[in-house]
């Protein structure tokens, strides 16, 4: 059950607005990025949120992976995005692929501020 969980909070995204508001193009990009990173997409779910007084609605795009998942949440009114990439490393080390996937998404959104975290999951406690 050991795995690697990568997260990133993006602010000041300079990408085209469609990447923050259009569910289908974002989901298709995510699936292509998953394959380019050498991971296996097994399903995808996307949801568009309605516009509010603050601006256009955002998108949640989730790609289920044979290795675990990718999830993207957008807030176009803030030009912000959160990214979540988790890979299980039980049958092999997919860490480099997870980093490649995250890098592709960071490039797409082109944020002025990025806060990244990395968590090793499923490591048994020592003692």
Catalytic residues: 68, 73, 88
CA-closest candidate to residue 34, choices 108, 105, 93: 105
Place of tokens 């990214």: 83
CA distances, 125 to each of 8, 90, 118, 120 (Å): 26, 17, 18, 12
Phi, psi dihedrals of residue 22, rounded to the nearest 5°: -105, 110
């Amino acid at each position: 059950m050991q795995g690697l969980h990568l997260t990133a909070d993006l602010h000041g995204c300079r990408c085209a607005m469609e990447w923050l508001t259009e569910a289908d193009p974002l989901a298709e990009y995510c699936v292509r990025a998953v394959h380019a990173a050498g991971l296996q997409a097994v399903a995808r779910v996307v949801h568009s949120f309605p516009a509010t007084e603050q601006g256009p609605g955002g998108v949640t795009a989730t790609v289920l992976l044979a290795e675990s998942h990718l999830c993207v949440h957008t807030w176009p009114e803030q030009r912000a995005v959160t990214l979540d990439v988790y890979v299980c490393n039980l049958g092999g080390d997919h860490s480099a692929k997870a980093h490649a996937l995250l890098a592709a998404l960071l490039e797409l959104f082109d944020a002025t501020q990025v806060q990244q975290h990395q968590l090793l999951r499923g490591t048994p406690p020592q003692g």
